[in-house]
Amino acid sequence: MPTRARKIAVFPGQFDPITNGHLDVIRRGVGLFDELIVAVGINPEKREMFSIDERVSMMRTLLRDTAVRVEQYTGLTVDFVRQAKATAILRGIRDVSDLRYEFQLALANRAVGGVETVFIMAGDQYALTSSSLIRQVVSLGGDVQQLSAILPEIVIAKLRQKQHLADIEPALPDAPAN
Catalytic residues: 22, 46, 94, 131
Mapped onto helix, strand or coil, the DSSP state of residue 120 is strand
Helix residue ranges, H only, the chain: 20-30, 52-62, 77-83, 96-113, 131-139, 153-168
DSSP strand pairing (116-121 vs 88-93)? parallel
Peptide bond preceding 17: is omega within 30 degrees of 0, i.e. cis?
yes
| Inter-residue contact 63 to 38 (CB < 8 Å) | yes
